[in-house]
Structure 1
Amino acid sequence: MEKLSFEFEASDPIKKPVHVGVVASGDLEVILKPAQGTKATLKIVTGSDGFKEIWKNVLTRFFDRYPLLADFEINDFGATPGVVNLRLTQAMEVLNHE
């Protein structure tokens, strides 16, 4: 198990908490909470060690498109980068449509 932390510059504050996904084999959950300041913080717990650079690349692409100001908690159980992107996109859908 590995614990990762990232920060990204962000300018779009969220107004409500969001939860998508589940922690299960090959999947992950994403929890977003409103935050203060100018940086999004991400705390990731993953069952797959040694993938920090891949996480950084996936998250950089996401924050380049969506500079969400939030505290992110991501609990991973071996999700692929495609699933990570899917869950982050689903969180965006929840923010935009509720």
Structure 2
Amino acid sequence: MEHINLSYPASVTLPGRALTGVVGSGDMEALFEPETSGRLTVVIKTSVDGSQQRWQHLFERLAALRDLPAGRLEINDFGATPGVARLRIEQVFEEAAHA
């Protein structure tokens, strides 16, 4: 089990907390807690050792495409593909925006 901690500048504040996905069967869950810190802190627990660079690239792409929200994002990964990971992250931000 690998633990990865990432942090990015954030320029958006979302109103609520959210949870998407389910751990198991190659999927992942994402839990978002909003903050006013001006940073997105990402805490990842993954069953895939040596995946820090993949996660960094994923969040760099997200930051290039959208404004990241301020808060804490906890990801529990059980081998999700990059496409599923991005989908779950986008879903949790969307859910938090409408909470």
- 2-side partners of 1:92 and 1:23: how far apart? 18
Give the C-alpha shift of residue 92 in structure 1.
2.9
Kindly report which structure 2 residues correspond to 1:31-42, keeping only aligned pairs within 5 A, or say none.
31-42=31-42
Kindly report which structure 2 residues correspond to 1:13-92, keeping only aligned pairs within 5 A, or say none.
13-64=13-64, 65-92=66-93
Give the C-alpha shift of residue 34 in structure 1.
1.2
Unpaired runs of at least 5, structure 1: none
Aligned length: 98
User: Do the aligned residues in 1 keep the contact of 2:47 with 2:79 (CA within 8 Å)?
Assistant: yes
- 2-side partners of 1:92 and 1:71: how far apart? 11
Give the C-alpha shift of residue 97 in structure 1.
4.1
TM-score by length of 1: 0.92
TM-score by length of 2: 0.91
User: Do the aligned residues in 1 keep the contact of 2:30 with 2:74 (CA within 8 Å)?
Assistant: yes
Unpaired runs of at least 5, structure 2: none
CA pair 68-42 structure 1, distance change in 2 beyond 3 A: same
User: Do the aligned residues in 1 keep the contact of 2:14 with 2:97 (CA within 8 Å)?
Assistant: no
Q: Give the alignment's Cα RMSD to 1 decimal.
A: 1.3
